A and B are shown apart, each in its own frame.
Chain A
């Protein structure tokens, strides 16, 4: 069943990106989608029930706006550090505990962290995430856990878990 959902998503994506509804294009798209599904289908979502729950989409849209705001702030922050003559950076690698468990939620959290204020996800070991931070603001682990992942974790939990 999950393979079928995966197949349909890929086919829609193909049709959008080629932007034509001719028969030959649909056949080629179906072949490509089938091949991709056979090769990578086992990495897709664990359950299909989650796809049809509307509250997840609602939280996704809320999350999208919060995320966009954070991304814009992140960019001004990095841009400020680039332009400033003294180059005010204080980089370091910090360890942050993770609360969420499922793989796809962790992937989304890691991607969100990479895109926001001066942080890049380096690795996940067990239940901890390692983050390179351009300006380490304090030595207290709780403070920087809140700064790095706290804002997103509660929304991602609602969307994916």
Chain B
């Protein structure tokens, strides 16, 4: 029962993350929703699997996937953001501040 609720919440967050991917204006904001909502959503699904099956083979594997997913998502987002900035993709029109400009040039 608890596992179903957690998995449902996870799917909901994944949905919101994908919605953000469509709605946000530029690549940087899109990555915000892609890393945060989707990572938490997927982690909730994995946690739900762990609670449903307990500490057997599939549960332990799901638990181990959480740190792997966490590190790959954050490092991947960082690499994508930095890479797109270096490739010259502009910030969206709504942006108010850009301290990184002087640093790159």
Q: Contacts A114-B74, A115-B74, A121-B78 known; A134 to B94 CB distance under 8 Å?
A: no
Query: Complex Cα distance A134/B36, Å?
Result: 12
Q: How many A-B residue pairs have CB under 8 A?
A: 114
Interface pair A82/B57, CB less than 8 Å apart: no
Query: Complex Cα distance A132/B37, Å?
Result: 16
**Majority secondary structure of chain B interface residues (helix, strand, loop or mixed):** helix
Interface check B8, CB cutoff 8 A? no
Q: Contacts A17-B64, A75-B40, A132-B28 known; A94 to B70 CB distance under 8 Å?
A: no
User: Chain A interface (Cβ within 8 Å of chain B)?
Assistant: 13, 16-17, 19, 71-72, 74-75, 78-79, 81-83, 87, 89-95, 110-111, 114-115, 118, 120-123, 125, 130, 132, 134, 136
Supply 13 A–B pairs (Cβ within 8 Å), ascending by A: A17-B61, A17-B64, A83-B16, A89-B29, A90-B96, A91-B94, A114-B78, A115-B36, A118-B32, A122-B82, A122-B100, A130-B99, A132-B81
User: Chain B interface (Cβ within 8 Å of chain A)?
Assistant: 13, 16-17, 19-20, 23-26, 28-29, 31-33, 35-37, 39-40, 57, 60-61, 64, 70-71, 74-75, 77-78, 81-82, 85, 91-92, 94-100, 103
Contacts A82-B17, A91-B26, A130-B100 aside, 9 further interface pairs with beta carbons under 8 A come to A74-B36, A78-B36, A111-B74, A114-B35, A115-B36, A115-B70, A120-B77, A122-B81, A125-B103
